Amino acid sequence: MARPPTDADVAGLLDASRGPLHPVAARTLEASLSVAWADPTRLHQPARRARALLDTAREVLAEALGVRPDELSIHDSPERALELGIAGLRHARRRAGERVVAGATERSVVLLQPGTEPPVPVDHTGRVQVQAYAGALTAGGVAAAVLQSANGEVGTRQPVDEVDDLCRASGVPLLLDLTASLGRDGGTALRSPTAGAVLVADAASFGGPPIGLLAVRTGARWSLPGPRRAAEHGREHAPPWVPLVLAAAEAWRQTSAARELEEPAARALVDEVRRAAAAVPDVEVVGDPEARLPHVVTFSVLYADGEVLLEELAARDLVVASGSACTSSVLRPSHVLAAMGVLTHGNVRVTLPLEAVSPTRAEDVGRLCRELPDAVAAVRQRLGTEHL
């Protein structure tokens, strides 16, 4: 299970939204299985050892978020951390109101929380409209606000500092969602180190397992209904499984140490994809071309079927994702693309793995750029749309 990925496993991998573990984190996980398996809340020797290892890992992960270890709790998934983060703000502020201000390109799990309707509109790049956000904050009855640092589907960065200022001015606590960006956009330093009353991150974004990190800054009004829970500063019913947390901390150490080479390299590769895709007739590259995550790019191919395009690229050993309806289990297009008003069919999404995870990624990107015109032509020919 913890076998480090080999080149064969990751060859052609251009969808690392939940990629393989960083190979060093995979080795850490394997080693942890025999030393850190115990429940860290028990009192026996194996539990004490797990506890000590967990404490150290929590310090590392807290530093990743720029918070104190006693502000950080660890959860089974980033989605769970987002749900809890919002629930705690809503409960603590239930006398102020029930509404949660959130942009239309926030993650689905955020937009499914009570109080988030209607979402704040975004522009064609997916960036939230600041004027509309300000209006929603001051409309009354607002318990909390949510903003992603950057969108994981199209890469566009959000106006974090501006929205943070607006939230402070109107006395509304902000949850900053770093699940797509931590470790990939700004390295060890957060782009806005003091923004947000609550921070949520996903260890998978920096090469760790997909566990949720939830930081509630000291002084923020945050509480959950019901009796205090037993673990994770009263936020969780049970402690996390320690081997996963150790792997996450190791992934952070590795990824933050490599950031100075990693981010510019990823940015240059994504620029290559953007150029190659834009050169194909009737292809629209979406998301902000500059103010974006270094490692994410999405484009939509007119008169093509997302599922067929994915299969065509898979036949050429290129693994990508799609936000098109036909590729979704609910047969609805990506709410992000729809909110941006861009084409949702024929959509291809590239999330670059870390170079440490996929040493062949530059070659894979080069191959995608070379194969794309032919792959698009083949799909359009099959659909009889090549002359439209």
Which residue in the set 38, 337, 352, 376 belongs to the binding site for other proteins (CB under 8 A)?
337
Which residue in the set 114, 193, 234, 341 belongs to the binding site for other proteins (CB under 8 A)?
341
Q: How many CB atoms lie within 10 A of CB 353?
A: 25
What DSSP assignment string belongs to 128-152?
B-HHHHHHHHTSS-EEEEEEESB-T
User: How many helices (DSSP H) and strands (DSSP E) are in the chain?
Assistant: 12, 9
What the block records as the tokens of 384 is 């009889």
User: Is residue 344 involved in binding other proteins (CB under 8 A)?
Assistant: yes
Which residue in the set 61, 104, 136, 286 belongs to the binding site for other proteins (CB under 8 A)?
286
CB 335 within 8 A of CB 108: yes
User: Is residue 72 involved in binding other proteins (CB under 8 A)?
Assistant: no
User: Is residue 124 involved in binding other proteins (CB under 8 A)?
Assistant: yes
Which residue in the set 106, 263, 288, 364 belongs to the binding site for other proteins (CB under 8 A)?
288
One-letter amino acid of 372: L
User: Is residue 77 involved in binding other proteins (CB under 8 A)?
Assistant: no
305 or 364: whose CB is closer to other proteins? 305
User: Is residue 282 involved in binding other proteins (CB under 8 A)?
Assistant: yes
Tokens 């989605």 appear where?
79
Which residue in the set 143, 204, 342, 352 belongs to the binding site for other proteins (CB under 8 A)?
342
179 vs 205: CA distance, rounded Å: 7
32 vs 381: CA distance, rounded Å: 52
What the block records as the tokens of 288 is 């902000």
What the block records as the tokens of 245 is 């947390």
User: Is residue 383 involved in binding other proteins (CB under 8 A)?
Assistant: yes
Q: How far is the CB of 339 from other proteins (least distance, A)?
A: 8
267 vs 352: CA distance, rounded Å: 10
- How far CA 212 is from CA of 55, 61, 72, 281, 335, in Å, comes to 16, 11, 10, 41, 23
Q: How far is the CB of 132 from other proteins (least distance, A)?
A: 19
User: Is residue 130 involved in binding other proteins (CB under 8 A)?
Assistant: no
Q: How many residues touch other proteins (CB under 8 A)?
A: 33
User: Is residue 278 involved in binding other proteins (CB under 8 A)?
Assistant: yes
Instruction: Produce one character per residue of 22-49: b if its CB has 16 or more CB atoms within 10 Å, e if not.
Output: bbbbbbbbbebeeebebebeeeeeebeb
What DSSP assignment string belongs to 323-384?
--GGGSTT----HHHHHHT---TTEEEEEPPPTTT-TTHHHHHHHHHHHHHHHHHHHHHHHT
139 or 279: whose CB is closer to other proteins? 279
User: Is residue 385 involved in binding other proteins (CB under 8 A)?
Assistant: yes
Instruction: Produce one character per residue of 131-143: b if its CB has 16 or more CB atoms within 10 Å, e if not.
Output: ebbbebbeeeebb
Q: How far is the CB of 208 from other proteins (least distance, A)?
A: 31
User: Is residue 345 involved in binding other proteins (CB under 8 A)?
Assistant: yes
Q: How many CB atoms lie within 10 A of CB 185?
A: 24
Which residue in the set 23, 186, 346, 353 belongs to the binding site for other proteins (CB under 8 A)?
346
- Return the range that interacts with other proteins (CB under 8 A); candidates 4-12, 237-245, 251-259, 341-349: 341-349
CB 326 within 8 A of CB 344: no
- Return the range that interacts with other proteins (CB under 8 A); candidates 57-65, 93-101, 129-137, 343-351: 343-351
155 or 183: whose CB is closer to other proteins? 155
3 or 124: whose CB is closer to other proteins? 124
183 or 306: whose CB is closer to other proteins? 306
48 or 332: whose CB is closer to other proteins? 332
183 or 287: whose CB is closer to other proteins? 287
User: Is residue 111 involved in binding other proteins (CB under 8 A)?
Assistant: no
- Return the range that interacts with other proteins (CB under 8 A); candidates 10-18, 67-75, 166-174, 301-309: 301-309
What the block records as the tokens of 35 is 């030393």
Q: How far is the CB of 109 from other proteins (least distance, A)?
A: 20
Query: Which spans of this chain sit near other proteins (rule: CB under 8 A)?
Result: 124-125, 278, 282, 284-289, 300, 302-306, 324-326, 331-333, 337-338, 341-346, 383, 385, 388
